[in-house]
Amino acid sequence: MFDMDLPWWEFVVRGLAVYMLLLVMVRLSGHRTVGQFTPFDLLVVMLLSEAVSNSLVGGDTSLIGGLVAAATLVAVNSLVALASSRSAKFEKLVDGDAVLIGRDGEFFDKVVRRCRLSETDLEEALREHDCPREEMKRAFLEADGQISILRKPQ
């Protein structure tokens, strides 16, 4: 239970490697994936965690090994959050930027498709902002996956 099969530092290196690779994969998957989970997305996240679990502990089933790996993930996440709060460049790298997806009542089809948004998503955002399409000045897909709508001045 307390005897580790691997040295403690290997859990730290494994945790760092898995965290960084998963961060890159999540960033590459796009804004929408991060912001709004469908049941399918949730299933993928759960399976992803199962898929990388052996990468974190390398077959070690000791309590201490699991705790070292968990502590490494929490520490790295805290460091990324701290660095993001202090550096706009790093925040942009980790979180991304808002994407302009529409202007003056028209959505940009190529951009909308690239962002993997459906017509239903766009119509829902307009309803949430109580903004008819013809009154839309600009629409953005935010870094967190939400759609922001700015109205034309009245």
SS (H, E, C) 123-150: HHHHHHCCCCHHHEEEEEECCCCCEEEE
| Number of residues in the chain | 154
Annotated domain spans of the chain: 8-95, 99-151
* CATH among 3.40.50.300, 2.40.37.20, 3.55.30.10, 3.30.240.20 for 99-151: 3.30.240.20
Tokens of 154: 């009245």
User: What pLDDT, on a 0 to 100 scale, did the predictor assign at position 32?
Assistant: 55
Per-residue pLDDT of the chain in tens (154 residues, 90 and over written 9): 778 788 888 888 888 888 888 888 777 766 555 556 666 566 677 667 777 787 777 777 777 887 888 888 888 888 988 998 999 999 888 888 899 999 999 999 999 999 889 999 999 999 999 999 999 999 999 888 889 999 998 7
